[in-house]
Amino acid sequence: MGIIIDFISKRLPLLIVFVAVITYFSPVYWKAPSWVPSLLLGVVIFFAGLSMNITVIKEIRAKRKELLLAVLLKWTLTVIISVGLAYIFFSSLPEIAAGIILSGTVPSATAATLYTFLAGGNAPLVIAASLADIAISPIITPLSMVGLSDSHVSISFLKLLQSFIFIVVVPLGAGLAIQHGFPQAANYSKSITKIGSSLSLLLIIHTIIGNGAPFIQMKLSLLPLIVLVTFVQVVFPMFAAYVIAKKLSIEEQDARAILFQVGLCNTALAAILAFKYIGELAAIAPIVNMIINLSIGSLISNHFAKSDMVQPKKYSNGDLSRSN
């Protein structure tokens, strides 16, 4: 069982591409109700809450400057790049533009914490910043779409807030509550967390691609451009955030954390919100973004890990969970 879990978790980006392609070309797929992807993402976030190490998060009080920088760059650099790319390349296609904006205005991905940990970065810094994201995102996301001309892409603050409460806040709170009541839960649930999160993400991709396949086919010629735009959307903020952090004399472990926090957004949530409130076309960009940010994030974390093996680091990164 352990071999299967490791295989799935380590090859998740490739499996996401595989599931997306197979589902797109398959005439048979799970025609799930619209609430199912939301429930599945709630499962992922529940496991994230269950695995968080609250003790080390409290130590972030000594990293106020770094936390402020991580949050500031996320909600200026990433948002500006996302909105700019959406308007420059897809102003005539509001649904796709909305999907790109959503991809850059949702909280950071749970994978950001994992990749930070694997890269030798300050994982608790990412966790603390992502908690701030949850409060900021419902405000910034609707404001970012004000200029889009198509009324079908408008997302009200109340609807977005409601979605965040049921998809993010409630599952996260439940995971933290169980961990608080049963401190050893994170240790015992390590394998379940890995397999549960991975399978839930794959099912989200399957249901959204299955329902949206006819609409994706209508805009298939735009897919190369969407891939290029989302690549820039992911890579440029990561690179810029890391350079800015180093220029400001931020320690290496914190700079790595800021890199992943700023560049990796929870595009599974973006895809669900796009699919639920805008339309199938709007979910294309978040799905492409998810594939790219998981793949690029994995490559960068591996690069940092290998460089530390050659040149041993002079710092210690925070624990991702009680089980690490």
State residue 252's pLDDT score. Answer: 92
Distance from C-alpha of 240 to C-alpha of 263, rounded to nearest angstrom: 9
State residue 226's pLDDT score. Answer: 94
State residue 181's pLDDT score. Answer: 76
Distance from C-alpha of 69 to C-alpha of 63, rounded to nearest angstrom: 10
Which domain does 112 fall in, by range?
38-306
User: Angle of helix 35-51 relative to helix 267-277, nearest 10 degrees?
Assistant: 160
Phi, psi values for residue 313, rounded to 5°: -75, 155
State residue 316's pLDDT score. Answer: 46
Q: Dihedral sign, CA of 21, 265, 146, 85?
A: negative
45 within some domain: yes
15 within some domain: no
137 within some domain: yes
> Domain holding 174: CATH number?
1.20.1530.20
Q: How many domains does the chain have?
A: 1
Distance from C-alpha of 13 to C-alpha of 247, rounded to nearest angstrom: 32
Q: Dihedral sign, CA of 100, 106, 108, 110?
A: negative
Distance from C-alpha of 60 to C-alpha of 66, rounded to nearest angstrom: 9
Distance from C-alpha of 237 to C-alpha of 74, rounded to nearest angstrom: 8
230 within some domain: yes
151 within some domain: yes
Measuring CA to CA, which residue among 206, 140, 135 is closest to residue 172?
135
6 within some domain: no
State residue 245's pLDDT score. Answer: 95
- In the chain, % helix, strand, coil (3-state, to 5) comes to 80, 0, 20
Q: Mean pLDDT per segment of 10 residues, for the chain of length 324 residues? A: 66 79 83 77 77 66 86 95 94 89 88 79 84 86 74 64 79 80 67 73 81 76 92 95 94 93 88 82 87 85 79 51 39
The answer, as to whether pTM is greater than 0.85, is no
75 within some domain: yes
- Angle, vertex CA 190, rays to CA 13 and CA 7, nearest 5: 35
16 within some domain: no
- Amino acid identity, residue 81? I
Query: Please, which residues have CB within 8 angstroms of residue 244's CB and are 6 or more apart in sequence?
Result: 69, 73
Give the CA distances from residue 92 to residues 79, 87, 149, 292, in Å, rounded to whole numbers and listed in that order: 20, 8, 9, 24
